[in-house]
Amino acid sequence: MSQKKVRVRFAPSPTGGLHLGGVRTVLFNYLFARHHGGEFVLRIEDTDQTRYVPGAEEYIMECLRWCGLEADESPLKGGPYAPYRQSERKGLYRQYAEQLVAAGHAYYAFDTPEELEAMREVEKARGNHSPQYNHSVRKTMRNSLVMDAAEVKALLEKGTPHVVRIKMPENEELRFTDMIRGEVSFQTSTVDDKVLLKADGMPTYHLAVVVDDYLMKISHAFRGEEWLPSAPVHILLWKYLGWEADMPQWAHLPLILKPDGNGKLSKRDGDRLGFPVYAMNWTDPKTNELTRGFREIGFLPEAFVNMLAMLGWNDGTGQEIFSIEELIARFSIERVHKGGAKFDYDKAKWFNHQYIVKTDNALLANLFKPVLLEKGVAAEPAFVAHVAGLVKERCHFINEIWDHGFFFFIRPDKYDVDAVKPKWSAEKQAFFEEWAAGLAGLEDFSFAPLEESFKQLATSKGIKPGELQLPFRIMLCGGKFGPPVFVIAETLGKAETIERIRLGLAALA
């Protein structure tokens, strides 16, 4: 086990958009694989045909691509253990189920859904809160444990619908070491006889995960904490199938919780509280309902990934901003938290802000292009980049470049006159008229000489320069926002600045 090549897998079922927690599971798998020079495989667990959602699989792969967490082997890429879609592996599973039956570790069950329901009703009437198909009731049901061999054979030959169930031992203690939680133990008496093979011939998750992890030589299996209660089934299966020596090491990841109250974070919480939960936009093919994703809301994938990495993991040094290379170098599954973490959208925004600030201006300009297009504004890439550099430190999202710098592209269409009017005077008006006139002759239109001439004239007229700066800003931007005023003027250029003073003065009159 220790010398085994590291191979991990992310095994989603394609039932909808990829949730934050799912991406984090991908990330931890990916980081672990890269850290150990191993392989990361994507396996699609589509064994429940009733839950099939068209487009979900493509969506998942696009998410991984956007996040930069692509798998080495996948349905799309193929690989030595193909196929990577369980529905295409259907024929594989039955033989293992039969093998378990033959060894006495599983059995055929012919109970119909109605009979199962009847059993549950009887049990509930007896005060049993959660009726299970287990050692205490299996002897009263219609299965190969109670029927004689000939009868079973006849039913099977007639093609009677049936499932295969695992025969849980009545009273054994099962323990295993979880890489995050340490020693975990269960009593087999509390686990029911899970269905392994469904009546439609498809395996359930329980059988499929074990068979495929074995066949695909998975060395470490990471999954959400919600799987912990069924771990005993999986461990027993590894044992019964005779593969115990090859069993992967388990790690059950903590859940990502909703910010308010408690409980698993769900799409609904995002809708309710106003933040994305899915990695990218997802449109439900049935209802046509659109759920906004982190990508479309303006997150940089690096920021998204970094933020996710810190949800349940840290390297112990206090560092929070990590490149993917650093994450790969420092990641260790043992440092993953046991407890769930509440999702904090403010912190997520802070991460994105950090990445925007350190992203190259030309790159930001490129990402901002769609917004300009949407606004119907044409501008030189170099100019856009310059503006991005001027405003990026006040942005949490790419599209906020517009909110903080639109006036570089278009003239203000309204002025915050209330901010100026109360203190406005004929003297100030005269100052701007005179200064604007003098501007025409200014040779160096960069911010320092601009500011210098502005202050000189103000002082000579006996006005505090500070009292003139806000009006000037309003004339250029229309409101109380933006980078330092003289930098704005420099960027706008001489002609435009003079024109905006003229228009501003008119608006204030």
Partner RNA sequence: GCCGCGUUGGUCAAUCGGCUAAGACGCCUCCCUUUCACGGAGGAAUGACGGGUUCGACUCCCGUACGCGGUACCA
Shortest Cβ distance from residue 129 to RNA (Å)?
3
Give the orientation angle of helix 90-102 with respect to helix 205-215, to 10 degrees.
100
**Residue placing its CB nearer to RNA in the complex, 16 or 293:** 16
Residues 6+ apart with CB under 8 A from 346: none
**Residue placing its CB nearer to RNA in the complex, 4 or 199:** 199
Mode of pairing for the β-strands spanning 182-187 and 256-257: unpaired
Shortest Cβ distance from residue 123 to RNA (Å)?
10
Mode of pairing for the β-strands spanning 39-42 and 106-109: unpaired
Beta bridge partners of 251: 222
Known active-site residue 267: yes
**Residue placing its CB nearer to RNA in the complex, 45 or 302:** 45
**Residue placing its CB nearer to RNA in the complex, 35 or 264:** 264
- Going 154 to 157 to 162 to 163, the CA torsion angle's sign is positive
37 dihedral zone (left: phi>0; alpha: psi -120 to 50; beta): left
**Residue placing its CB nearer to RNA in the complex, 30 or 186:** 186
- Going 229 to 233 to 234 to 238, the CA torsion angle's sign is positive
Q: Is 369 part of any known ligand binding site?
A: no
Task: Give the gyration radius of the chain's Cα atoms.
Answer: 32
With beta carbons less than 8 A apart as the criterion, state whether 205 and 47 touch.
yes
The residue among 381, 336, 338 whose CA lies nearest residue 363 is: 381
Q: Which SS3 state, helix, strand or coil, does residue 114 take?
A: helix
The residue among 69, 18, 71, 73 whose CA lies nearest residue 302 is: 69
- Greatest Cα pair distance, the chain, in angstroms, is 113
- Which residue among 267, 342, 369, 494 is the active-site one? 267
Shortest Cβ distance from residue 413 to RNA (Å)?
18
Shortest Cβ distance from residue 91 to RNA (Å)?
16
Shortest Cβ distance from residue 227 to RNA (Å)?
6
Please enumerate, by residue number, every residue annotated as part of a binding site: 267
Binding residues for ATP: 267
Active site residues: 267
